[in-house]
Amino acid sequence: MIMTVPERVRAVATFRYIEVRLMEIVAGWTPTTPEMEAKVMFGRHIWDFAQHADALGKRTYELRQPEHYTVPADPSYVKLLTRVASETSTSGRLSSLYEGILPGLARRYRDYIAATDAILDEPTVVIMERIVADLDRQTAQARQLIRELRLPGEPPRDLSIEEQNVSHLHSGEVHV
């Protein structure tokens, strides 16, 4: 079944909400993270998240909503992001975000791309393919940084499992 324009815009607006929240989380961590290498990486990733949010926000306008239209994520996903934001150690921050959240978020983008009509929704597909490539690169960079800094390997506190158990990103009919 092809997603309607309102279903697509709701999904895009929810992804935008998540990208803005990721930007806020990493920006909040940067001043209190002692390792300079992590701060530099966080800075690049804040910029990536901002670019993602901007592209998705412009797409909502093309889908007949106000520019930068945003729909909050499902409360269970917001709660998960709040848990990630509360991490205090560098290794906890890196593992929770880059091992616990981003791989699942990339999967959700891929699921959207697979579910939408590639012709009718091509602009969204192009944006999301770029975001997926960025998320994959960010995850690889974080893994490399963990190795280089020889940080203790804290597990992502089952965040990846919790992320997978959130059945959808927003309330409503579209389950992306």
Each residue of 113-143: pLDDT tens digit? 999 999 999 999 999 999 999 999 999 999 9
Residues 6+ apart with CB under 8 A from 63: 5, 8, 9, 12, 124
Residue 174 lies in a domain: no
Residue 81 lies in a domain: yes
Residue 175 lies in a domain: no
The predicted-structure confidence for 142-169, as pLDDT tens digits, reads as follows 999 999 999 876 656 577 788 888 887 8
Residue 88 lies in a domain: yes
Give the E-state strand segments of 66-107 in sequence order. none
Give alpha helix (H) positions in 86-121: 90-95, 102-115
Range of the domain at 78: 5-165
Residue 171 lies in a domain: no
135, 102 in Cβ contact below 8 A? yes
Residue 13 lies in a domain: yes
Total domain count for the chain? 1
CATH code for position 46: 1.20.1260.10
Residue 176 lies in a domain: no
Residue 173 lies in a domain: no
Model-level pTM? 0.92
Work out the burial of residue 82: count CB atoms within 10 Å of its CB; fewer than 13 is exposed, 13-18 middle, 19 or more buried. exposed
